[in-house]
Amino acid sequence: MTPSDLVVTPTGLRFMGRHFPCSIGRNGVTDRKREGDGCTPRGVHGIIGMLYRPDRMARPADWALVIGPGDLWSDDPGDEDYNLMVRAPYGQSHEKLRRADPLYDLVILTDWNWPRAVRGHGSAIFIHQWRRPGYPTAGCVGLPRTALKWIAPRIRYGTRLIVL
């Protein structure tokens, strides 16, 4: 572990000498992640991208990509695009990336079960804004908006999400 790693511990997330409160999956941490299990996968996960809503915030990093109105994420284990970003219209099970609430105004993408997804082992693990303190995610890592906006521009090549 290095100071530039995002480290999830039982007491929160550590990054660059700071400690932030965070939320994880409603069913805790697991070594055996499955689609829809509500768990956050234990391990070391690379950071592979960043998405943001330009109508709600300034670009958080020069490599961040815009979330457009038709952007979705496939979470259908039976689909050939499972665990990939797709566009509407899309007939398979998916999650909207451009949401009415602020949860996905800024999304940091990890390499969980990517780029060659194993069907049923769980779709994307994002780092995104939490709903409120203590409210769990579906398996992602949730942070307060202020923390997420502080962290995003400081992520560098090689930064990892480490879930203990």
Note whether residue 146 is domain-resident: yes
- Give the number of residues written for the chain: 164
CA-nearest of 152, 161, 143, 146 to 24 is 143
Q: What is the pLDDT of residues 15-45, one digit of tens each?
A: 999 999 999 999 999 999 999 999 999 999 9
Secondary element (H or E) of residue 149: helix 145-151
% of residues, the chain, pLDDT over 70? 100
Phi, psi dihedrals of residue 145, rounded to the nearest 5°: -55, -45
Secondary element (H or E) of residue 148: helix 145-151
CATH of the domain at 67: 2.40.440
The reported pLDDT for the residue numbered 23 is 98
Q: What is the pLDDT of residues 120-138, one digit of tens each?
A: 899 999 999 999 999 999 9
State which residues form the domain around 31: 6-163
Distance CA 142, CA 107 (A): 10
- Which single residue is written with the structure tokens 């390499």? 111
Indicate the number of domains in the chain: 1
Distance CA 153, CA 100 (A): 24
β-pair partners for 73: 85, 95
| 134 C-beta neighbours (distance < 10 Å), count | 8
3-state secondary structure at position 19 = strand
Distance CA 86, CA 19 (A): 34
Mean pLDDT (the chain) is 96
Half-sphere exposure for 20 (CA within 13 Å, toward CB): 25
Transcribe 74-104 into DSSP letters.
E--TTSTTTTSEEESS--S-EEESS-SSSTT
Instruction: Please report which confidence band the pLDDT of residue 107 belongs to, taking 50, 70 and 90 as the band edges.
Output: very high
Q: What is the pLDDT of residues 39-97, one digit of tens each?
A: 999 999 999 999 999 999 999 999 999 999 999 999 999 999 999 999 999 999 999 99
Note whether residue 1 is domain-resident: no
Return the amino acid letter for 23: S
